[in-house]
Amino acid sequence: MTAEVMAQEETQAAEVVVAVEPLKEEKVAEENVKPRESSVEASKPKMVEKSSSYKEESNYLSDLKEFERKALSELKSKLEEAILGNTLFEPKKEALLENEEKKNEGEEKEEEEEKKVDVEENDVSLWGVPLLPSKGAEGVDVVLLKFLRAREFKVNDAFEMLKKTLKWRKESKIDSAVDEDFGSDLASAAYMNGVDHEGHPVCYNIFGAFESEELYQKTFGTEEKRSEFLRWRCQLMEKGIQKLNLKPGGVSSLLQINDLKNSPGPSKLRVATKQTLAMLQDNYPEMVAKNIFINVPFWYYALNALLSPFLTQRTKSKFVVARPNKVTETLTKYVIPSHP
């Protein structure tokens, strides 16, 4: 957090309207405010109202601006061509050369394998939504708009981002991560619990869990352990996305509450935090409606300054940092806190 941004702090009324600010600072030093258990957690959220206090951007075609509709149409055309041409996961020239070689060899076995690949390519999906536009899946516009918004509706940039995400998921076998067992050590470090006032599933990140040197070393002690932590974090994100309604008018993003009380210093968390932010920003665009930070220590601002260059302006615009005497008030604008 730079002094310039800190100087831009406005009145309390502005603390929720952070979408137009790089980062609203609301320093914190209060006790944790934990949510009340809710039976709503297991179910998908209801449709989000257009009049919500911090509504998601509309995914209805009728609500999009002309240039947004045009960008969406162009992206769908590119995606259709890539999927049908089997070039989504490899350069077009290489794909053509490979197909030509197979034809010249004339081996039936290879032709059968190629047909299997064709079927797999045509069935490509993301977060349970079939991506082949001609299939007409109800959620395809919602998913593609996330990539377009993350890249300011620059079609080529959004398409490249989508391809990289799909390639990463395929190579890392992200879909299978949901069912993997990572043990219970990290259960208190991050978890999904309930929904906010607008129906967004809430993800709590409790950085103080890593105050334990034993857990810290077990989680971040080596590069291999950090990689496993990132995969576990993917699992949590995927489970959260399963609670979303990726259809026009549906709640299609999460709310994250980050509690930094008793968190280890930046010298310990800098690498892991940078890797996690990069992974989430690059592969889960527009999946977080708000990132609320509470119990922020003094070093947070230095760490934020270091990480800021790696975050898009759109990502930073969703940060809300509660002031020392506004933690409870800020949280109650989003979730219902429990009382002892």
The pLDDT value recorded for residue 247 is 94
Indicate the DSSP class of residue 205: E
- Residue with the bigger pLDDT between 60 and 12: it is 60
> What confidence tens digit (pLDDT) does each residue in 165-174 have?
999 999 999 9
> What confidence tens digit (pLDDT) does each residue in 24-42 have?
444 333 334 444 444 434 4
Mean pLDDT, rounded, of the chain? 79
The pTM of this model reads 0.75
Chain-centre distance of CA 276, in angstroms?
A: 10
Confidence band for 91, pLDDT divided at 50, 70 and 90: low
> What confidence tens digit (pLDDT) does each residue in 229-244 have?
999 999 999 999 999 9
- CB 24 within 8 Å of CB 14: yes
Residues forming a β-bridge with 126 = 129
Rounded Cα distance between 256 and 318, Å, is 10
- Name the percent of the chain in helix, strand, coil, to the closest 5: 50, 10, 40
List the domains of the chain with CATH numbers: 3-57+184-332 (3.40.525.10), 61-177 (no CATH)
Q: Report the range of poorest mean pLDDT among 29-43, 124-138, 232-246, 326-340.
A: 29-43
Burial class (CB in 10 A: 0-12, 13-18, 19+), 124: middle
- Residue with the bigger pLDDT between 83 and 324: it is 83
